[in-house]
């Protein structure tokens, strides 16, 4: 059964992919069967020569129309209608026992029905409706021609009225069924095309989502690399510059500076290995190395202070729960802000970090007394670091503001909503460091 079904599917696909060859083969088969029967019937009791030639020509036109019914449904239907119209003026064909009937009822009329089906299934509007109208008119004309024959009432079952009802019902059922089959075929094709279009759109949406996920992942990694490299190198440069001056007079202090530089470098390398691991993974997940949290800001401030920048840390309010993304965003905001102070504020600058735990928001503010960072050309936000901070907070539903402070210097303020941050506990306690 399965092999037979596969064979049927192969034949169907072959016929679907070669509509012209299939229709030509169907026209030849129909001509060899229904056409032959029709010709033999007509020639057995032929009408006058002119009508005979017209009849045979109409048969040829009908079968020719079948050969183009799918590729050219409208021209094929017009040819079929012309063939049926020509047959409608041919004298009635004599049957047995004194009966007479229109030549349009011979088996060659199947060609017209196939063309009517095809135009209903495949032709653009308004041709399907026009084919139904033409079929109704043809049904009425054939019925009138048939039932008005002198011998119809005597030979029809049920007499004149019974025979008339039978002829009308039979012809209407035939025409309507072919039109309905074509309409159903049109609806089915539309459904298949709609499903194919939805599948294509779904595939496109999946591709867009994958592409957007890759873009977001690259942006996230770019932010991490910027934060790690910019901060670590800035602090290392500051430490190295200070160590150069004390190396000649205080070797112990110089050794401590070198250890600090080494610790910062190792930490930066560890973060970079974590980022490279994400890039090499076939299915990127969260970074395997522990990510910094808001509790690590104290250690970062101490490290920056040791590099020579006077910086104070003030934490107020009751600490709340934060999720991992909020932890990292808070840490990176302070890190990037202090990095900018180290790089751009100039000699004699001081910095202050304030962490305020509110009822609804966590507010982080970094203020310095030095020069503001230089603006990026064509951007309203200063540099890539500020862009990264803004993106982090936006993803969390927060906001970032950065600009000159009222009493000179520069201020960066970030707000992180606490409503969504509920997965990782924070153990920070209010404190003040100088």
Q: Give the domain CATH number at 395.
A: 3.30.565.10
Does a structural domain hold residue 277?
A: no
270 within a domain of the structure (yes/no): no
Residues near 325 by Cβ (< 8 Å), separated by ≥ 6? 392, 395, 396
Q: Phi then psi for 86, rounded to 5 degrees? A: -65, -40
User: What is the number of structural domains in the chain?
Assistant: 2
Q: Is 92 domain-assigned?
A: yes
The token pair at 106 is 């011979």
Domain boundary among 88, 122, 155: 155
- H helix runs in 123-158, sequence order: 127-147, 152-155
Residue 363 has pLDDT above 90, yes or no: yes
Residue 322: band (very low, low, confident or very high) from pLDDT cuts 50, 70, 90:
confident
Give domain status of residue 64, yes or no. Answer: yes
The answer to the question of residue 93 being in a domain is yes
Q: Report yes or no on 262 lying in a domain.
A: no
When pLDDT is cut at 50, 70 and 90, the band that residue 430 belongs to is very low
Boundary of a domain, candidates 135, 155, 175: 155
Whole-angstrom CA distances from 262 to 119, 256, 257, 268, 274 are 82, 10, 9, 10, 18
Do residues 151 and 100 touch, judged by C-beta distance below 8 A?
yes
- What is the reported pLDDT for 226? 66
Please give the pLDDT value at position 383. 56
In whole angstroms, give the CA distance from residue 263 to residue 295.
18
Q: CA 434 to CA 430: how far, in whole Å? A: 14
Report whether pLDDT(374) > 70. no
pLDDT tens track for 158-183: 777 888 888 889 999 999 999 999 99
The three-class DSSP label of residue 415 is strand
Dihedral of CA 314/317/318/324: which sign?
A: negative
Q: Confirm whether 397 is domain-assigned.
A: yes
Cβ proximity of 294 and 322 under 8 Å: yes
Query: What pLDDT is attached to residue 250?
Result: 72
Whose CA is closest to 341, among 392, 393, 405, 400? Answer: 405
Across 93-102, 138-147, 308-317, least confident range: 93-102
| Pairing mode, strands 351-357 and 311-316 | parallel
The region of weakest confidence among 18-22, 42-46, 87-91, 235-239 is: 235-239
**CA-CA distance, 369 to 107, in Å (whole number)?**
101
Binned at pLDDT 50, 70 and 90, residue 221 comes out as low
With both helix axes pointing from N to C terminus, report the angle between 383-395 and 324-344 in degrees, rounded to the nearest 10.
160
Find the mean pLDDT for residues 102-113. Answer: 91
**What is the pTM for the complete model shown?**
0.51
Instruction: Report which of 85, 93, 91, 83 is spatially closest to residue 57, judged by C-alpha positions.
Output: 83
Mean pLDDT of the chain: 80
User: What is the chain's alpha carbon radius of gyration, rounded to the nearest angstrom?
Assistant: 44
pLDDT exceeds 80 at position 248: no
How many angstroms separate the first and last alpha carbons of the chain? 86
Nearest to 132 by CA among 151, 160, 113, 107: 113
Domain with 317, as residue range(s), is 293-434
**Residue in 123, 130, 118, 103 with CA at minimum distance from that of residue 67:** 118
State which of 117, 134, 155 marks the end of a domain.
155
How far, in whole angstroms, is CA 385 from its chain's centroid?
A: 33
Please answer whether residues 336 and 388 qualify as being in contact, where contact means their C-beta atoms are separated by less than 8 angstroms.
Answer: yes
Whether the pLDDT of residue 425 is over 60: the answer is no
Is residue 110, in this structure, part of any structural domain at all?
A: yes
DSSP notation for 255-306: HHHHHHHHHHHHHHHHHHHHHHHHHH-SS--S-SSPPP-GGGHHHHHHHHHH
């Amino acid at each position: 059964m399965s092999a037979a079904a596969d064979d049927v599917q192969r034949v169907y696909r072959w016929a679907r992919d070669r509509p012209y060859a299939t229709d030509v083969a169907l026209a030849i088969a129909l001509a060899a069967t229904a056409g032959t029967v029709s010709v033999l019937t007509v020639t057995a009791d032929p009408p006058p020569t002119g009508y005979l030639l017209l009849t045979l020509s109409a048969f040829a036109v009908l079968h020719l129309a079948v050969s183009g019914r799918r590729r050219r449904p409208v021209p094929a239907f017009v040819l079929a209608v012309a063939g049926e119209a020509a047959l409608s003026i041919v004298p009635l064909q004599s049957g047995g026992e004194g009966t007479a009937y229109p030549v349009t009822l011979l088996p060659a009329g199947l060609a017209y029905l196939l063309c009517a089906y095809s135009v209903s299934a495949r032709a653009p509007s308004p041709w399907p409706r026009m084919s139904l109208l033409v079929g109704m008119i043809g049904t009425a004309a054939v019925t009138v021609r048939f039932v008005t024959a002198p011998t119809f009432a005597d030979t029809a079952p049920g007499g004149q009225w019974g025979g008339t009802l039978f002829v009308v019902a039979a012809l209407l059922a035939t025409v309507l069924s072919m039109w309905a089959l074509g309409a159903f075929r049109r609806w089915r094709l539309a459904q298949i095309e709609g499903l194919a279009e939805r599948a294509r759109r779904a595939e496109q949406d999946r591709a867009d989502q994958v592409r957007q996920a890759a873009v977001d992942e690259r942006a996230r990694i770019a932010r991490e690399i910027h934060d790690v490299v910019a901060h670590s190198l800035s602090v290392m440069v500051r430490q190295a510059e200070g160590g150069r001056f004390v190396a000649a007079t205080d070797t112990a202090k110089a050794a401590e500076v070198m250890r600090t530089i080494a610790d910062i470098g190792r930490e930066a390398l560890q973060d970079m290995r974590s980022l490279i691991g994400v890039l090499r993974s076939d299915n990127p997940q969260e970074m395997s190395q522990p990510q910094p949290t808001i509790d690590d800001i104290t250690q970062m401030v101490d490290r920056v202070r040791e590099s020579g920048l006077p910086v104070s840390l003030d934490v107020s309010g009751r600490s709340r729960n934060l999720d991992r993304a909020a932890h990292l965003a808070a840490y990176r905001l302070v890190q990037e802000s202090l990095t900018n102070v180290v790089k751009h504020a100039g000699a004699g600058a001081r910095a202050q970090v304030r962490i305020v735990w509110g009822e609804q928001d966590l507010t982080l503010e970094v203020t310095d007394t030095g020069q503001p960072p230089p603006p990026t050309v064509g951007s309203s936000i200063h540099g890539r670091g500020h862009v990264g901070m803004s993106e982090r907070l936006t993803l969390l539903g927060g906001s970032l503001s950065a600009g000159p402070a009222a009493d000179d210097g520069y201020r960066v303020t970030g707000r992180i909503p606490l409503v969504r941050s509920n997965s990782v506990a924070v153990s920070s306690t209010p404190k003040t460091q100088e």
